[in-house]
């Protein structure tokens, strides 16, 4: 019976650690993706559009 309880605790710890790892992986993905998205979106602008319309406005 003790083995069943220990297995349940290990399963919960495993799920929590997977959730934490997934959260940090998603956070890392967003941190690395945002500069590339910013670069691609601003590459479609005309010469001085970033200065006149703002940097974060869509083209």
Please report where in the chains the tokens 């691609």 appear, as a residue: 40
Question: Which pLDDT score, from 0 to 100, does residue 41 have?
Answer: 82
Global pTM?
A: 0.57
Q: How do residues 7-55 score in pLDDT, each as one tens digit?
A: 566 776 788 899 999 999 999 999 999 989 888 888 888 877 777 887 7
Name residues whose C-beta falls within 8 Å of residue 2's C-beta, 6 or more positions apart in sequence. none
Cβ(59)–Cβ(44) below 8 Å: yes
């Amino acid at each position: 019976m003790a083995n069943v309880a220990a297995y349940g605790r290990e399963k919960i710890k495993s799920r929590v650690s997977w959730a934490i790892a997934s959260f940090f992986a998603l956070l890392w993905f967003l941190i690395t993706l945002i500069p590339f998205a910013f670069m691609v979106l601003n590459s479609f602008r005309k010469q001085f559009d970033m200065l006149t319309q703002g940097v974060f406005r869509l083209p």
